[in-house]
Amino acid sequence: MRGVAGGRNLRKILTGLRTNMPMLSLQGISKDYLTDGQRVPALKGLSLNVERGEFVALVGRSGCGKSTLLNLAGAMDFPTSGTVLLDGVATSSLKDTGLTQLRREKIGFIFQSFQLLHTLTVFENVELPLLLAGKTNPREVARERLAWVELDGLGERYPHQLSGGQMQRVAIARALIHSPGILLADEPTGNLDTITGNVILELLRRLTCEQNTASIIATHSLEAASLADTVVKLRDGKIEEIIRR
C-alpha cells in the first residue's frame, strides 16, 4: 500500500492544487500498539478535518491519544486502519522518500521540550529544515522568521544562552521556516511558566492566522483551548466532543 507512489512524480503530487480539500483529513483512523504481545488501542475509528488557517486545540487526559494523533498527522507514523490525507495525499501511500519530502514541505513540528540542537546557533537551528531540504542561502528567511517571533538580534546566540520562552520562540521560527501547510505542536507550553506560555500561544495563534497555516496543538492548557477555533476533546482514543467557535 505504502509503495504505490514509489515511482511517481512526488513533487507533482505534493504541490497539486487541492484548495477545496482540507489541509488534514483523518478518515476513520485507528491505531493499535503491541505491548508485550497485547494489542493496545490508542485511537479508535477517529475522523477529523482541519482546514487551512484553522487553529485546533487537542485536549484530553494523558494517554487519551493526543500524541498518537499528532504523529499520524505529521506522517511520522501510520494508522492501523483508516486514511490520513495531508493536503490530499494519503500518507500510507508514500515511501520513505515521499514522506521525507512531505515533512520538508508541508509540516512544521513544535515540541514541549523545544528540541533545539545545542551545537547550533539560533540562526542555524532555524535554517536547519531548509538546509536539510537542500535549499541554499536560507539566512534571510531565517532572519525574517526570527523577526516574526521577536528574536531579532539573537541569531548568533546558542540555545543555552536563551530563556525557555526564547527557546520555544526559536522552535516556532524553525517550524515556520518553510511555510508549512500544517503546524503540529505537542504541549508547546508544557515546559514554560503560565505567563510565558500564554505569550507563546498568542504568538502561535497570530502567526498561523497570518500565514493561513492549519495548527493542531495538543495541550492541557485551558488558555490554549480558549484561543482555538476548534477544540477537540479526546477520551480513550475517541473524539468525545468537538467544539467549534
Task: Note the residues at the interface with other proteins (CB under 8 A).
Answer: 67, 71, 74, 76-77, 96-97, 100, 103-104, 109, 111, 113, 115, 117-120, 124, 128-129, 131-134, 160, 174, 178
Q: Which residues pair with 218 in a beta bridge?
A: 58, 186
Shortest Cβ 174–other proteins spacing (Å): 7
Shortest Cβ 129–other proteins spacing (Å): 5
Q: What residues have CB less than 8 Å from 167, skipping those under 6 apart? A: 114, 116, 159
- Among 74, 67, 53, 24, CA closest to 190: 67
Contact 2, 77 (CB under 8 A): no
Shortest Cβ 193–other proteins spacing (Å): 18
Specify the residue, 55 or 109, whose C-beta has the smaller distance to other proteins. Answer: 109
Specify the residue, 141 or 231, whose C-beta has the smaller distance to other proteins. Answer: 141
Give the C-alpha separation, 150 to 162, whole Å: 13
- Among 61, 65, 88, 87, CA closest to 77: 65
Shortest Cβ 95–other proteins spacing (Å): 11
Specify the residue, 40 or 131, whose C-beta has the smaller distance to other proteins. Answer: 131
Give the C-alpha separation, 10 to 13, whole Å: 5
Specify the residue, 74 or 197, whose C-beta has the smaller distance to other proteins. Answer: 74
Specify the residue, 99 or 214, whose C-beta has the smaller distance to other proteins. Answer: 99
Shortest Cβ 226–other proteins spacing (Å): 26
Number of H helices, E strands in the chain: 8, 10
